[in-house]
A and B are shown apart, each in its own frame.
Chain A
Amino acid sequence: MLRILDIAFKDLLQLSRDFKVFMFLLIMPILFTFLFGYAFGGFGGESDSRLPVGYLALDDHWVTDKLHRLLANSEVIRLEESVLFSEADLEKLVAEGDLAAAVIVPQGYGKAVVKDKTVRLIVIADTSVQAWTTVKAELLSAASRIDGAARTAEVMENMELEGVPFDYAFDQTLSAWEEPPITIHETSSLALEKANLANRALAHTSPGMMLQFAIAGLLTAAQVIVAERKSRTLQRLLTTNTRRIHVALGHYLAIFLLIFAQFSILITFGQIALGVNYFRLPQATLLAAFCAALCISAMGLLIGVLAKNEEQAIIFSLVPMFVFAGLGGAWVPLEVTGETFRVIGHLSPIAWGMDGFENIVARGLGVESVLIPSAALAGYGALFFALAVWRLNAAEEK
């Protein structure tokens, strides 16, 4: 048993001398987290931090256009519009926490405003999240301004034509405030914890880049294993009373510790510097990180065993990195890719890792939500490890 620790310690000593380790495991993921974070954080550049609010106009009227302009120019909300959105879509997006709220302008709204009839804006929101207060204030203010403007215009019009007294106009304007011009549709949202929606993009890219570059970093560990075999140092190990399984476990332990340390550093960094709430459920985060490290380090061992030379170690690490990361939703969230792709994506262990971390930091789910992702990761880990050991034994006598 001591041998396994000795081999792991030796590997870590070797890896600590390789600048690539720090480059791939720490520098790159942090860099790319910022890069992707900004890219996905919205296309409004600095207005990035505005709360996303879905917008669907079922009405075609100049008043509706005014309302749209008011909302679009808001400094606190950012309209997310698409001709493809249906009411149900918006409801779902709000429920999943991808939107802070959604506004639906019902048919006849514009006409009604002009005629001082009550057709209210429909707002879908989870009123239990903090962001709601902000959104509500903004929507109310916009709707009220529209209403107020209409009332005033009406009053002016009336004054000119019929000489209506001022107090009537005042009453009219004030009355607009008595009943709020929006109707709120309560919806239960999963996004209890998505108060700080500005960090939504980071909550996705932080685990995404962490997992992706953990795989990239495997090339360094795989190179250590390849070099050991090529220099015939492995053969020499076998002339001592060290067995192949000791060597495999030693390497595995070293990579595991390396990846787990990477996760710990990046999770702490994500929590403190990026505001990604990993520490919300520390046990769940720990479990997901542990199982993801189990899985990725087994992948590293397998790469080291399969690669015939150092160049192959690089290819065998980077190709799975791109495939697994792309497929597994480390770049583009699988939620937005549709059902088929989501199912296919879950062939990638990264998808399970993303599920695990995102359930904690983005979806606000409970501890039990990381159990299945963690089990899947551990399962992949066991599979990769078994394949590696099988290959190692098959290579015996060669």
Chain B
Amino acid sequence: MSDLPAIEALDLRKSFGENRAVQGVSFQVNRGEIFSLLGPNGAGKTTTISMLSCLLRPDDGDARVMGRSIRSDPSGVKSVLGVVPQEIALYEDLSARENLTFWGKMYDLRGSKLKARVDEVLEVIGLRDRANERVGKYSGGMKRRVNIGVALLHKPQVVYMDEPTVGIDPQSRRNILDNVVRLKNEGMTVLYTTHYMEEAQELSDHIGIMDHGKLIACGTNEELVKLVGQQTRIDLTLNAHVESVAAAWREIEGVSHVAAENGVATALVNDSNLALPHLFEAASRLSARITSVNIREPNLEAVFLHLTGRALRD
């Protein structure tokens, strides 16, 4: 029983009219691990999570959460779940404590147990001192922390976190990431979505890369990075002619993938020492001024670029 996966998505599909938001996604999350869905805006991460939390009925496919089907046993699924939505889904005119107390009741906690859990969670999210202030007056980061705290009240077996670190200060972000790891250490299974590859890389046991409603790669960080071989990623920020510089780079030997986006030309190269002079030369030949250079060893971003030909950016 305990070796059953915590989450098992089987060919999930969902369309909104013509828009095929999720087109056959299958993956498996083991118990007690952190699994990240990494993908750009509109990749279908939230739609996938919504189906896994029984908010959206899949057009096709099924999923099991702790062995319970999202189709046939939604209330069973909900009872083992804590969901942190992408939006800050709180009552802004209530305080953090009042919010947590209310949500605790929605998770069937009552009485002294509820009170104790609310205090514990306030401690965990570092808001004990300001627990009685209205959430509406909090900073974005503090709201995010309460948003997460709500989902942890009933100590769920599985937690979904949909981009919990979007648009917040580094301090709150650290608190959140530390908490995610702590949850894992306490034995919870975490399904995490993000479009920050650093987060996925730092936290995850396994990572699924999503794009245009499809899971285009899945594995551990190392497995995924291997997909791009030992290539190094070079970003040049240019004041002009990004497209033509990128086109010129494609002709250079040892350069595999090239992308141009938002004034940045990106190339994957086998050996940066060999390639760099050529890249610079092409830029200066086209009279594009280089305003910054960034060289990165293989990482998930490179994997995304390799798989989609686009940079993983918002």
Contact = CB atoms under 8 A, between A and B. Distances in A.
Interface string B70-110: 00000100110101010111111110001000110111101
B55 A231 contact: no
A237 B53 CA distance: 11
B105 A2 contact: yes
A6 B85 contact: no
A233 B56 contact: no
A152 B295 CA distance: 124
Given A2-B105, A6-B102, A397-B56, A241 B79 contact: yes
Contacts of B93: 14, 17-18
Interface string A1-32: 01100100010011001100000000000000
B87 A231 contact: yes
B91 A14 contact: yes
Interface residues of B, number: 28
Interface string B94-138: 100010001101111010000000000000000000000000000
A231 B86 CA distance: 11
Contacts of B87: 231-232
Most chain A CB within a 10 A radius of its CB, from B55, B56, B90, B98 = B55
Nearest to A230: B87
Contacts of A134: none
B90 A233 contact: yes
B53 A231 contact: no
B55 A238 contact: yes
Contact of A13 (B79, B98, B150): B98
B250 interface: no
Given A14-B94, A231-B89, A239-B83, A397 B105 contact: no
Contacts of A13: 94, 98
A69 interface: no
Interface in A216-250: 227-228, 231-233, 235-242
B94 A10 contact: yes
B71 to A, nearest CB: 14
B85 A235 contact: yes
B275 interface: no
Interface string B273-302: 000000000000000000000000000000
Contact of A10 (B54, B81, B91, B108): B91
B57 interface: yes
Nearest to B88: A231
Contacts of B110: 2
Given A239-B53, A241-B79, A6 B91 contact: no
B76 to A, nearest CB: 9
A379 B9 CA distance: 47
A185 B107 CA distance: 73
A308 B148 CA distance: 27
Contact of A233 (B78, B79, B89, B105): B89
Interface string A368-398: 0000000000000000000000000000010
Given A17-B93, A228-B91, 11 more contacts: A13-B94, A231-B90, A232-B89, A235-B85, A239-B53, A239-B54, A239-B55, A239-B85, A241-B79, A241-B108, A242-B106
Interface of A: 2-3, 6, 10, 13-14, 17-18, 227-228, 231-233, 235-242, 397
Which 7 residue pairs are nearest across A and B when measured between Cβ atoms? A236-B89, A239-B83, A240-B106, A233-B89, A6-B105, A232-B87, A239-B53
